[in-house]
Amino acid sequence: MNARVSNSSAPPDNELPAPSVLARTYLRLRAPLKRFLGRSMQRKEDAEDGVQEVFLRYAASGKQLPHDEEAAYLHVAARNVSHTAWQQSARRESVEAVSLDQHTEIAEELAADESTEPLYRAEHRQRLSRMEEALAELPERRREAFVLHAIDGLTQTEVAERMGITRRMVYNHVTLAYAYCQMRVQYRTPEEMKIAQALQALQGNETP
């Protein structure tokens, strides 16, 4: 991935991005997803990392699901994350009670529904391109934490040790990066995103 760094387009480190659907969904479903993943992961921090991975996959998918469908979709994503953890672990007995066959069937069904369609492949390439742009627009330290955790696969504790910062700072960097990328992939340019945000703010300030 070629990094075209342009920090001016991203929110400063000390500012939260505009509230997003992803952020609200995260606050609503983080606890039940963490409990679910905690049944198959021995360490609490691994379950927390698993929740972050679930929301990364949701953000990268570009989906905008109805409120009443989000929990089911993210539960499937959590099962797939659990499956991946099972593959990487020698402790088979710690796996959540859902069978490997069920995990595989879910993955195959999702692939059959979407990945074979030409239109879906084109949309997927577009989302990947925008995600690359979004990463380049992030502040340097935020991008570093996000890439180390979400792409290189380091735990948040390992990222904290690598970067010489606290685990809480890693968590903040990764969460803010998720929120920015989830919003950014919906627009062709940062400027288009800012215009849309401004219009939404105006609509929110209108009185009935």
Range name among 19-23, 100-104, 119-123, 173-177 with the lowest pLDDT average: 100-104
| Three-class DSSP category at 117 | coil
Q: What is the pLDDT of residue 103?
A: 46
Segments making up each domain of the chain, as ranges: 18-205
Q: Does the pLDDT value for residue 3 go beyond 50? A: no
Mean pLDDT, rounded, for 114-118? 51
Q: What pLDDT band is residue 87 in, cutting at 50, 70 and 90?
A: low
Q: Tally the C-alpha atoms within 13 A of residue 117's C-alpha that lie toward its C-beta.
A: 9
| Mean pLDDT, all residues of the chain | 72
Query: How many other C-beta atoms lie within 10 A of the C-beta of residue 147?
Result: 18
CA 40 remoteness from chain centre: 20
Residue 38 to residue 12: CA distance in whole angstroms: 33
> Is-contact 55 177, C-beta < 8 A?
no
